[in-house]
Structure 1
């Protein structure tokens, strides 16, 4: 019986590398974390490695936007929202930053696997 290994941080929606249909689950997940417009580009639908690169870059751009939003939230919102709303917005930016950190790790692992890297179980 074959043993398929996914490393820590691997997305639960994607089967481990070399498992049956794993690339299809990877492609679907990569499209799910990408802007809807990515589905309309034939090159991204036909070449998983290109899709993975686009998805990673999209997540990294989202991380940059999140960091910018966090750094500007208090100054930009203090004149248009109550203090408790501003603080809630800051907390939302923190939560989004943490989420994106996990998504970036997962997307990077999927990209590595699509490029041929395989993972081994560790004790």
Structure 2
């Protein structure tokens, strides 16, 4: 093992499939991942590809908005949907909302990490 080789790590929560910010070409992979987190119409704006920091900024906000919507939906589902669904449906719907909320929280963390990397922040592993 060569101890002089650089040790590349990514912070916990870094998006899967995107090389770490020390890897060559990571920005292109990150742009693709960020666009996947945004509405499809965002791909039609060349400015997002030309300015990946701006894309990371808006993608992080977009995903945080989705987290907020999911929390709101979870809070109101029982009252607003409960009377209109069969009894077995509400727990199922609440479970889906909970799982989607967890997925979105992880995506929001990943988007924030990519944004931080585009601003030049460096991840320092902690013991």
Q: Under a length normalisation based on structure 2, what TM-score does the superposition of the two structures give?
A: 0.91
Describe how 1:43-82 pairs up with structure 2 within 5 A: 43-82=47-86
User: 4+ runs of 1 displaced by more than 4 Å?
Assistant: none
Residue aligning to 2:124 = 120
Corresponding residue SS for 2:85: coil
Q: Under a length normalisation based on structure 1, what TM-score does the superposition of the two structures give?
A: 0.94
Unaligned runs of 5+ in 1: none
Deviation at 1:57, TM superposition (A): 0.7
Report whether the alignment pairs 1:95 with 2:99: yes
Deviation at 1:41, TM superposition (A): 1.2
Matched residues in 1 for 2:50 and 2:76: separation?
A: 39
Unaligned runs of 5+ in 2: none
Report whether the alignment pairs 1:6 with 2:23: no
Matched residues in 1 for 2:55 and 2:25: separation?
A: 17
Residue aligning to 1:42 = 46
Deviation at 1:11, TM superposition (A): 1.0
Report whether the alignment pairs 1:83 with 2:87: yes
